[in-house]
A and B are shown apart, each in its own frame.
Chain A
Amino acid sequence: AQKITQTQPGMFVQEKEAVTLDCTYDTSDPSYGLFWYKQPSSGEMIFLIYQGSYDQQNATEGRYSLNFQKARKSANLVISASQLGDSAMYFCAMREGPNSGYSTLTFGKGTMLLVSP
């Protein structure tokens, strides 16, 4: 079974609208972390936001927020007020176990977001 599932290969949104990118995960470890990265057409990987499994509140970073539903094992990225520069590939990733030792990141296959004027 896939550990990270991103079911939307592509999403379209108009500028200034909000958009939600879906991510579900699978783990039996009680300690884990969830990350979202953005990859623009230039190719670099840009860290956006992090949610720890024990965090009580949903993470927020500027226009990005993470809708964390632990019981449903989902960690959706919400981008408010989309901008043209948000057009990019977005990856959800999970670290199982505490951030030490041999814990590694597993990535989903990504969602391509296109923002139109």
Chain B
Amino acid sequence: NAGVTQTPKFQVLKTGQSMTLQCAQDMNHEYMSWYRQDPGMGLRLIHYSVGAGITDQGEVPNGYNVSRSTTEDFPLRLLSAAPSQTSVYFCASRRQAEGPYEQYFGPGTRLTVT
């Protein structure tokens, strides 16, 4: 049971390049989400999904796309990277049921856009 995995761990992009951050979980969680963490800002929600084929925007969705074709995977796509997207990105998942079910986080991807 690997939990939530993210690849890559580190990435440097040039402005205008595109890339996909990968996220996978093996806990059969319905709910998955992407956050970005910037100094002094806490974690801010980018996009989330409540199941395969269903996604929605969070607080800071501009410049990012997501899709959810399987329960396990939830990739985050940067279409045209900008320096403002330099951040640490966390993927998380949880059960979607009544109760104190916490989110499990991946180890994060540190992205630098030059």
Whether A and B are associated in the same complex: the answer reads yes
Q: Quick check: which of A11-19, A74-82, A102-110 contacts chain B, the rest being far away?
A: A102-110
Is B50 positioned at the interface, with any CB of A under 8 Å from its CB? yes
Most buried by B among A45, A50, A100: A45
B positions within 8 Å CB-CB of A = 33, 35, 40-45, 48, 50, 56, 58, 88, 90, 92, 94-105, 107-108
Number of A-B contacts (CB under 8 A): 58
* Pairwise interchain contact B43-A91, C-beta atoms closer than 8 A: yes
- For chain A, the bracket of interface size reads 20 to 34
Neighbour of B107 across the interface among A43, A104, A108, CB < 8 A: A43
A positions within 8 Å CB-CB of B = 4, 33, 35, 37, 43-45, 47, 50, 52, 91, 93, 98-102, 104-110
Neighbour of B50 across the interface among A33, A93, A102, CB < 8 A: A102
Smallest CB–CB gap between B39 and chain A, Å?
10
Smallest CB–CB gap between A97 and chain B, Å?
11
